């Protein structure tokens, strides 16, 4: 489907999910950052269940920065990869120290322990910062190649391909595809219900 005009074709998807909040139930940027770190290789639903107890113990970056990795680990022991995540949160909080000093540029965020490009892009989006990249999570890795807007399974390469074909004002397409992947474009997709099926390479290749 290389003949698709993606800036036009993506508009209905962007409209459908415009300003839709990420499924993590955070209350501020501090909570968002912590929950994004915790959610890697785990489910948003599970992190939403773990978070209230965690934030009761560590309500802000300052209290977290004074905690030991062991104290952090105790509260996230059923989160996947909790050992590394407790070390990352410990190191990250000591570096940032205060909520108001949480950085919102891609470079500064990705320098923090436990935060890669995808996490940084999510944090920037939810905090209302200007996009410097496109969110490519496991849903987008499935959806983007199906649509035909990108190829392969490498998140960084998929992000680069999408950034090349979409203007920066449409870079929320990544999060929109993530929502589409959660709701419609599941591992077994509900193609008939999908608002992108007219331009979708997978759907049109199947017909």
What is the residue extent of each domain of the chain? 6-19+134-206, 29-127
Report the percentage of the chain scoring pLDDT > 70.
Answer: 99
Q: Domain 29-127, CATH 1.10.340.30 — does that match?
A: yes
| Terminal CA-CA length for the chain | 14
Do 17 and 194 form a contact (C-beta atoms < 8 A)? no
Report the percentage of the chain scoring pLDDT > 90.
Answer: 97
pLDDT in tens, 68-119: 999 999 999 999 999 999 999 999 999 999 999 999 999 999 999 999 999 9
What pLDDT score was predicted for residue 106? 98
Q: In this predicted model, which residue has the larger pLDDT, 135 or 207?
A: 135
Mean pLDDT within 51-59: 98
Q: Is 23 exposed, middle or buried (0-12, 13-18, 19+ CB in 10 A)?
A: middle
DSSP state of 186: -
What pLDDT score was predicted for residue 114? 97
What pLDDT score was predicted for residue 2? 59
At the second CATH level, the architecture of 6-19+134-206 is: Orthogonal Bundle (1.10)
Residue of 47, 64, 36, 55 lying closest to 125 (CA atoms):
36
Distance CA 154, CA 133 (A): 15
> 160: pLDDT confidence band, cut at 50, 70 and 90?
very high
Do 13 and 180 form a contact (C-beta atoms < 8 A)? yes
> 40: pLDDT confidence band, cut at 50, 70 and 90?
very high
Angle of helix 117-127 versus helix 173-183 axis, rounded to 10: 100
**What b/e string do you get for 147-162 counting C-beta neighbours within 10 Å, with b at 16 or more?**
bbbbeeeebeebbebb
pLDDT mean across residues, the chain: 97
> 36: pLDDT confidence band, cut at 50, 70 and 90?
very high
Mean pLDDT within 10-24: 97
What pLDDT score was predicted for residue 1? 43
């Amino acid at each position: 489907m290389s003949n698709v005009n993606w800036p036009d074709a993506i508009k209905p998807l962007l409209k459908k999910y415009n300003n839709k909040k990420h499924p993590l139930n955070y209350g501020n940027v501090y909570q968002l950052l912590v929950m994004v770190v915790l959610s890697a290789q785990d489910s948003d639903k599970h992190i939403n269940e773990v978070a209230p107890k965690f934030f009761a113990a560590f309500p802000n970056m300052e209290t977290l920065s004074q905690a030991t990795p062991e104290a952090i680990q105790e509260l996230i022991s059923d989160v996947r990869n909790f050992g590394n995540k407790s070390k990352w949160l410990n190191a990250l909080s000591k570096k940032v120290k205060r909520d108001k000093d949480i950085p919102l540029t891609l470079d500064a965020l990705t320098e923090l322990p436990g935060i890669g490009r995808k996490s940084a892009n999510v944090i920037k989006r939810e905090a209302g910062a200007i996009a410097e990249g496109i969110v490519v999570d496991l849903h987008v890795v499935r959806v983007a190649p199906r649509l035909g807007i990108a190829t392969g399974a490498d998140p960084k390469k998929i992000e680069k391909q999408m950034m090349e074909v979409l203007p920066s004002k449409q870079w929320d397409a990544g999060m929109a595809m993530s929502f589409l992947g959660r709701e419609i474009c599941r591992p077994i997709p509900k193609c008939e219900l999908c608002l992108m099926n007219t331009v979708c390479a997978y759907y049109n290749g199947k017909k």
